[in-house]
Amino acid sequence: MPAPYYRTQVILSLGRSAAEVVATFAPVPGLYAAAGMLCAIMELTENVIANRREARQLRDRCHTLLQAAKDTNPRVCTMQVLQVHQIIKSKMDAWATLGRINSFLQQNQIKEDIAKCHEGITDCLTHFQLVSHMEIHNWQEDFAANSVLDHREVIARLSDVQESQSLIHNTTLDNNTMLKEMMVFMQSALFENKNIADRTHNGLASNLYELQRQTDNLLPNMNLQSGEVVREGNFPVSGTAAMDIYKGRYLNREDVAIKVVRAVNSNEASKRRFMREVKVWNDLWNQDRGRHILPFYGFCQTDGPFPYMVSPWQSNGTALQFVKKFDTGVDYRKMVKHIALGVQVLHEMKVVHGDIKASNIMINAKFEPLLADFGLSQIVEDITGIPFTQSRGVSDSYRWFAPEVCKGQGVLSARSDVYALGMTILELLTHQQPYQKIKHTTEVVIRREKGELPERPNESRILQRGLDEQLWFLLEDCWRTTASERPKIDEIIQRMD
């Protein structure tokens, strides 16, 4: 029978090389095959990536089992010892061929498998009375320590920029599912290290951002509680009567707007409602990819008494700020058409914006308008149990609200969005809020109930921006008192063309 194969370079188990293992156990009747298995296990151990310390401890206990059998009665326990070694070698074969990403992703599963292998060794040792209870206690204690060290090593590698970039670039787009799983793993690791403001947390955040860009997906967990977002400064940079807006940093790589919703409190009810909204945010992102709709990156409830939502920062400001600053350089027709296309995206996905106006439209780096804060009206209403139109700070929006929104419980719908879109187009073309000559919003509601529409502007500059007779008639149709008589968004876009 040929001698067992083993590497010529020195690989040690309990201080012995593979050659020494063969020399020690192969001559013993019945332990020849088990010695070969142990040599193979010693080799494979060095190819285990994410659980190497745990694997080495398992290797050493295989050696201990073989030594105990040799010192006791090898003829009695030969088959059981060989069987244990065969099972462990088979497992080692699988762990050693996983590759880096799969090794990281499956670290916990490998840990569980290694623990089961240890139990197999313990059962064998106990059955043949080959070892004391002290040895069993020691391996469990050492295994726990090795698990912690192995996990820390993986986190350290994932926080290393060069290591993480290598992982990303060596994974093809065909393995997009694997990259998504890696995002889940890294965000979980970020949570573990959220209170450690050091290179590990910062590196994890930065590399998670790169992974997010590679997959072109939002984070797997949009309940941001792992330090994904950090506020810059103690005071809001802007806001409305219902919302404070802070500037923040997302995963150490991107400026974001932190929108603190003061109409609701951070509690389990608000968390459940935001979690329901996450699917809508993901679906809209998958549909639009940020072309017409400003994406939500997630929400947070652990940074102050009020929850906040996170969106990418837009340095060009709101649509109204933009047209006032760059008036003569703005293609107004193109802008309002782009806004209408954003409303179309929402309505095709059965999403009602609820609060369309120029201050809720941001201008991106390509100077294109993006609808922001969609669906917030319904979130606030669901959490507080109070109709959105009666919520704190919402009265500022009455100038854009359709008549049915301002009555009773207030009915928000795609048709009320169309009404608000018409008011927003007028706002952008005139650089003034709707009903600009009326000072109080309550008076606007009263006059609108009487059928009074905004006055038609006749200034030459406004007409040059595109407010011709055809567009004015379209706006009047958007403002019809009866909701069912207003055009749908598809018709609006068709008439714009």
pLDDT digits 0-9 by tens, 175-215: 677 888 889 999 999 998 877 657 788 899 999 998 888 88
What is the pLDDT at residue 194?
78
pLDDT band at 1 (very low <50, low <70, confident <90, very high): very low
pLDDT digits 0-9 by tens, 105-158: 999 999 999 999 999 999 888 877 766 555 666 889 999 999 999 999 999 888
Please state, as a whole number, how many other Cβ atoms lie within 10 Å of the Cβ of residue 495: 14
DSSP calls for 202-252: HHHHHHHHHHHHHHT---S--B--SS-EEE-SSS-SEE-SSEEEEEEEETT
Q: What is the mean pLDDT of the chain?
A: 89
User: Exposure of 247 by Cβ count < 10 A (0-12 exposed, 13-18 middle, 19+ buried)?
Assistant: middle
pLDDT band at 387 (very low <50, low <70, confident <90, very high): low
pLDDT digits 0-9 by tens, 303-362: 989 999 999 999 999 999 999 999 999 999 999 999 999 999 999 999 999 999 999 999
What is the pLDDT at residue 131?
60
Choice between 387 and 236, residue whose per-residue pLDDT is larger? 236
Q: Residue 383 pLDDT > 90, yes or no?
A: no
Class of domain 316-497: mainly alpha
Q: In the chain, what's the furthest Cα-to-Cα distance?
A: 107
Joined tokens for residue 333: 């027709």
pLDDT band at 389 (very low <50, low <70, confident <90, very high): low
Q: Residue 7 pLDDT > 50, yes or no?
A: no
* For the chain, domain boundaries: 18-159, 316-497
Q: Rounded to the nearest 10 degrees, what angle do helices 52-71 and 107-127 cross at?
A: 10
Mean pLDDT across 458-472:
96
pTM: 0.82
Nearest CA to 306 among 274, 353, 354?
274
Q: What percent of the chain has pLDDT over 70?
A: 92
Highest mean pLDDT among 1-5, 182-186, 455-459: 455-459
